[in-house]
């Protein structure tokens, strides 16, 4: 397992360096968001190639990662087109001046590459057990949860993107569609994607006895809820959008639930 991961490390390093150089050219470290899902796909491709994975189960896993990676990267590129640097990165830039362009190499891009390398470990057992795997109920459930999450994430992303294109005042908050039932339905969808892959990997655990398949969903859940997801996004949202507190008071933060009152009337 570690041999496979070591083989992926140089590729991820080079991709991180290339993304950093692009950020210097554009003077925008938000480009790191575009590449991280592609880096996950690159690691998975290496694992599939090195293990000569030809089993139907492995091919389905590879396809799921490819669809997710290209969808997410393409959407982020579309969303950020002709936009200034993401507010989160602007804060990091300000807090790490001077010489932020140089510091961003290790603060953002190397950290991102290392994170991808760690979470990619969850995919290794599936490829190591490739020839010994037969399609099972866990695979069906895993694909179903993954697809559900992908659809939720895609719909939520598109709803918010259309809203942001139409809204005139930044204080307005989207509270319709999926955003009526969760303040972060896109994060919930991403959560389902990673736990779907976890369920898909359960049969591989019975073969390899490696608990590594739990690493990625556990880390991603922590990031989405406690670190770079909800907590960071909502840190100053009330100050920037006066109507957000009322929306926050009656809408679930993560898991979609019926609102406490009619949010459309806020």
User: 31-50 vs 111-119: helix axis angle to the nearest 10?
Assistant: 40
- The structural domain count of the chain equals 2
Pair 9, 74 in one domain: yes
Backbone angles phi, psi at 128, to 5 degrees: -65, -30
Pair 152, 216 in one domain: yes
Pair 32, 64 in one domain: yes
Pair 123, 173 in one domain: no
Closest of 172, 188, 68, 184 to residue 119, by C-alpha:
68
- State in Å, rounded, how far the first CA of the chain is from the last one: 53
Residue finishing a domain among 133, 148, 172: 133
Pair 128, 171 in one domain: no
Pair 103, 190 in one domain: no
How do the pLDDT tens digits run along the chain, 266 residues long?
A: 778 899 999 999 999 999 999 999 989 998 999 999 999 999 999 999 999 888 999 999 999 999 999 999 999 999 888 788 887 888 888 899 889 999 999 999 999 999 999 999 999 988 988 778 889 999 999 999 999 999 999 999 999 999 888 755 555 788 899 999 999 999 999 999 999 999 999 998 887 777 888 999 999 999 999 887 788 788 778 777 888 888 989 999 999 999 986 555 54
Residue finishing a domain among 133, 156, 177: 133
Structural domain containing residue 262: 135-266
Q: Are 142 and 63 in contact (CB under 8 A)?
A: no
What pTM did the predictor assign? Answer: 0.91
Q: Are 190 and 145 in contact (CB under 8 A)?
A: no
Pair 125, 176 in one domain: no
Pair 108, 174 in one domain: no
Pair 184, 249 in one domain: yes
Token pair listed for 43: 């690691």
Pair 103, 215 in one domain: no
Pair 89, 204 in one domain: no
Closest of 219, 266, 226 to residue 246, by C-alpha:
266
Pair 28, 115 in one domain: yes
Determine the Cα–Cα distance for residues 130 and 123; give it in Å rounded to an integer.
11
Residue finishing a domain among 106, 133, 160: 133
């Amino acid at each position: 397992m570690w041999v496979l991961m070591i083989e992926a490390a140089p590729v991820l390093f080079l991709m991180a360096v290339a993304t950093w150089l692009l950020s210097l050219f554009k003077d925008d470290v938000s480009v790191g968001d575009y590449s991280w899902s592609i880096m996950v796909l690159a690691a998975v491709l290496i694992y599939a190639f090195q293990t000569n994975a030809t089993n139907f189960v492995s091919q389905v896993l590879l396809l799921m990662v490819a669809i997710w990676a290209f969808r997410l990267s393409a959407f982020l590129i579309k969303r950020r087109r002709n936009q200034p640097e993401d507010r989160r990165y602007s804060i990091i830039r300000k807090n790490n001046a001077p010489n932020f362009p140089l510091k961003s190499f290790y603060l953002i891009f190397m950290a991102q590459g290392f994170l991808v390398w760690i979470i990619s470990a969850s995919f290794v057992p599936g490829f190591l057990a490739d020839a010994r795997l037969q399609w099972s109920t866990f695979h069906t459930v895993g694909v179903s949860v993954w697809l559900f999450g992908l659809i939720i994430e895609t719909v939520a992303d598109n709803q918010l993107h259309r809203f942001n294109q139409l809204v005139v005042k930044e204080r307005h908050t989207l509270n319709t569609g999926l955003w009526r039932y969760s303040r972060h339905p896109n994060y919930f969808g991403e959560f389902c994607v990673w736990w779907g892959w976890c369920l898909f990997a359960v049969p591989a655990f019975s073969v390899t006895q490696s608990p590594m398949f739990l690493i990625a969903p556990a880390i991603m859940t922590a990031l989405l809820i406690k670190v770079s997801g909800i907590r960071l996004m909502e840190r100053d949202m009330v100050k920037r959008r006066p109507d957000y507190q009322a929306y926050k008071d009656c809408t679930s933060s993560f898991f979609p639930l019926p609102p406490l009152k009619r949010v459309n009337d806020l």
